């Protein structure tokens, strides 16, 4: 007898700046500086598959510093949501979560803390079996690892993208080595990171 199988439950968490859009220093402050990386839409479209959900988890301290206006940030979110729509991801499978706080505010959402990751799981896929955290900074990887430690039943993997569109790539490599924070995978592009995720094998659940 053929038993219908449930699709896998895979949550993909993506940092924004230096992953989906080009990083800027000290932040992406103007709409014209909000530029998607090459193949951003194609990479996202690969995540449009049964059982997969996608959340962007981004630190945006320039909001509370007053350097990035809420209005501009709102336009960026609209562009990002429309990129996800163009990639075919249904609205209910995609979220944008952000931390507007500065480091001084000592919040629980600013990566490497895990508040946004917890929120993404709670809102999108509470029964996730696999979670991926993709970022261009060691703090993204750290957040992913901490989240995995808090949820030992999950398979948690991290991908660090090292490329010149990210935030100080050489320093991330150095920092990762110095602090012993080792990603599951180092990728050279957003697309490569997504290909690697898909190659990890996500079988249907019995
Ligand atoms: Mg980043
Ligand atoms: Zn925060």
Q: Three-state SS string across 41-83, please? A: HHHHHHCCCCCEEEEEEEECHHHHHCCCCHHHHHHHHHHHHHH
Ligand positioned closest to the Cα atom of 134: 1
Catalytically annotated residue among 15, 136, 140, 167: 15
Distance 3 CA to ligand 1 centre (A): 43
Q: Can you give the pLDDT at residue 1? A: 61
Q: Is 101 helix (H, G, I), strand (E, B) or coil?
A: coil
Distance 150 CA to ligand 1 centre (A): 23
Q: Can you give the pLDDT at residue 161? A: 98
Q: Can you give the pLDDT at residue 7? A: 78
Distance 110 CA to ligand 2 centre (A): 4
Q: Using alpha carbons, select from 35, 9, 38, 8 the residue that is nearest to residue 22.
A: 35
Distance 128 CA to ligand 1 centre (A): 24
Distance 151 CA to ligand 1 centre (A): 24
Euclidean distance between CA atoms 57 and 14, whole angstroms: 6
Domain boundaries, the chain: 22-130+141-157
Instruction: Show the low-confidence residues of the chain (pLDDT under 70).
Output: 1-4, 205-206
Cβ atoms 194, 43 nearer than 8 A: yes
Torsion region of 18: left, alpha or beta (phi above 0 gives left; psi -120 to 50 gives alpha): left
Residue 169, CA atoms < 13 Å, CB-side half-sphere? 15
Cβ atoms 146, 24 nearer than 8 A: no
Question: Does residue 15 have an active-site annotation?
Answer: yes
CA 164 to chain centre: 18
Q: Can you give the pLDDT at residue 201? A: 86
Residue whose pair of structure tokens reads 């951003």 in the numeric block = 40
Looking at CATH, the fold of the domain delimited by 22-130+141-157 is given as: Rossmann fold (3.40.50)
DSSP symbol at 21: B
Question: Does residue 17 have an active-site annotation?
Answer: yes
- pLDDT tens, residue by residue, 57-114: 999 999 999 999 999 999 999 999 999 999 999 999 999 999 999 999 999 999 999 9
């Amino acid at each position: 007898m053929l038993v219908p199988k449930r699709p896998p439950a895979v949550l993909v968490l993506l940092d924004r700046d230096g992953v989906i859009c080009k990083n800027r220093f000290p932040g992406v402050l103007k709409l014209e500086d909000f530029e998607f990386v090459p193949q951003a839409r194609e990479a996202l479209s690969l995540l449009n598959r049964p059982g997969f959900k996608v959340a962007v988890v981004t630190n945006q301290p320039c909001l509370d510093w007053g350097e990035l206006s809420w209005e501009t940030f709102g336009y960026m979110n609209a562009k990002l949501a429309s990129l996800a729509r163009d990639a075919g991801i249904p609205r209910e499978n995609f979220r944008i979560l952000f931390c507007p706080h500065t480091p001084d505010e000592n919040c629980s959402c600013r990566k490497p803390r895990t508040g946004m990751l917890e929120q993404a799981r709670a809102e999108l896929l509470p029964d996730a079996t696999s979670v991926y955290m993709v970022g261009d900074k060691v703090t993204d990887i750290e957040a992913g690892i901490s989240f995995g430690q808090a949820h030992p039943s999950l398979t948690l993997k991290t991908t660090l993208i090292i490329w010149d569109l990210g935030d100080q790539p050489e320093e991330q490599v150095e920092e990762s080595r110095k602090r012993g924070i080792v990603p599951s995978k180092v990728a050279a592009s957003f697309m490569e990171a997504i290909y690697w995720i898909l190659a990890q094998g996500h079988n249907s659940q019995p």
